[in-house]
């Protein structure tokens, strides 16, 4: 079913190209492992099993990792009310609503499609945002679901994890299994590690380039759906400022899931590292929302708290 979120053909094209390139990359990776390890059954079965598990259980994995739990309307009526209203406006299925009991103000969406999606917000976000700001953040997350980029980034982000697990498993299998019979174990190990490092580096760049664009696309779609880009800009400003004040040790676990978050769990704005970031800079996001606000003739200036 087509939602009322404005379509983004450039996002669709980027997702297609990214998945195609990653697909070629990992076919080559698996082929290289088969040649090096001489066990195609082992490599293919483990790769397929892990990728399938990630695709089907990504929502549960993300919720567990971020200490999220599904909540009913009776417990969070206001949150459910905002999600209900946005889903009605967007003409899309309502996702499962969850809350993570952590102070870091943030939100994320996960799931393999619109019918199996989860939108989760932290209690820190609920405490800090006004209703219109929360609506902007949730519209942003629902846009990820509607555009299907949440499923794409879920699969793409974990391909590197899968590659690492394959390498580790295969290495120990070779080391403790056939290592006594094969004098070239060290050479095989070095070759596998070299291929793995190259695959990880290329996938790292591809995924982050897609992630930065999809965040701008979700901001744009959310602003146009709600008609309140200033509210989303205000939420971004609040969230980014508050995250910067959260102790670094409290952000370490969350940083592994930055690609899924509304705002990256970073203690400060990165320097040159922004080119490898999962999100565009706050300035870029506010600038885009400012242009949309001017186009819509919105009275309130974006960026104000």
Q: Is 130 annotated as a binding residue?
A: no
Length of the chain: 305
- DSSP character string of 162-179: HHHHHHHHHHHHIIIIIT
CA nearest to 253, candidates 235, 240, 265? 265
Q: What does the block give as tokens for 198? A: 């190259």
Quickly tell me which residue has 């983004």 as its tokens. 8
d(CA 83, CA 96): 10
Helix (H) or strand (E) holding 100: strand 96-100
Handedness of CA 278, 283, 287, 289 (dihedral sign): positive
CA-to-CA distance for 259 and 65, rounded, in angstroms? 14
**Do 144 and 111 form a contact (C-beta atoms < 8 A)?**
no
Rg (CA), the chain: 21
| 116 annotated binding-site participant | no
Tokens for 72, please give them.
């009913």
- Residue matched to tokens 């949730």: 138
Q: Answer yes or no: is 144 a known binding residue.
A: yes
CB-CB contact of 147 with 217 (8 Å): yes
Catalytic residue chosen out of the listed positions 133, 135, 141, 298: 141
Tokens 């009275």: give the residue: 299
Residue 99 pairs in a beta bridge with: 69, 121
Say whether 74 is catalytic. Answer: no
Query: Please, which residues bridge with residue 118 across strands?
Result: 96, 110
Nearest alpha-carbon partner for 286 in 243, 231, 245, 242: 231
CA 137 to chain centre: 15
- List the binding residues: 140, 144, 215
- List the binding residues for Zn(2+): 140, 144, 215
Residues designated as active site: 141
């Amino acid at each position: 079913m087509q939602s009322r979120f404005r379509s983004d053909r450039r996002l669709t094209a980027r997702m297609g190209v990214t998945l195609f390139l990653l697909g070629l990359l990992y076919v080559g990776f698996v082929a290289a492992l088969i040649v090096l390890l001489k066990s195609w059954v082992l490599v293919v079965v483990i790769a397929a099993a892990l990728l399938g598990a990630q695709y089907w259980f990504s929502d549960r994995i993300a919720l567990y990792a971020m200490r999220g739990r599904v909540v009913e309307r009776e417990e969070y009526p206001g949150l459910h009310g905002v999600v209900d209203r946005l889903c009605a406006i967007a003409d899309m299925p309502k996702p499962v609503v969850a809350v993570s009991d952590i102070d870091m103000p943030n939100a994320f969406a996960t799931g393999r499609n619109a019918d199996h999606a989860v939108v989760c917000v932290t209690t820190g976000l609920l405490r800090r945002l006004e209703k219109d700001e929360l609506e902007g953040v949730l519209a942003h997350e629902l846009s990820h679901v509607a555009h299907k980029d949440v499923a794409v980034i879920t699969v793409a982000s974990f391909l590197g994890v899968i590659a690492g697990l394959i390498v580790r498993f295969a290495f120990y299998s070779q080391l403790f299994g056939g290592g006594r019979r094969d004098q070239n174990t060290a050479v095989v190990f070095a070759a596998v590690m070299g291929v793995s490092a190259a695959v990880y580096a290329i996938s790292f760049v591809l995924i982050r380039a897609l992630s930065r664009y999809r965040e701008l696309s979700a901001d744009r779609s959310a602003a146009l759906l709600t008609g309140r880009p200033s509210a989303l800009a205000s939420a971004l400003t609040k969230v980014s400022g508050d995250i910067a004040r959260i102790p670094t040790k409290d952000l370490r676990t969350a940083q592994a899931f930055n690609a899924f978050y509304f705002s990256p769990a970073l203690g400060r704005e990165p320097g040159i590292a922004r080119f490898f970031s999962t999100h565009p800079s706050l300035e870029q996001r506010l600038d885009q929302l400012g242009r949309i606000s001017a186009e819509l003739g919105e009275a309130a200036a974006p960026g104000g708290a």
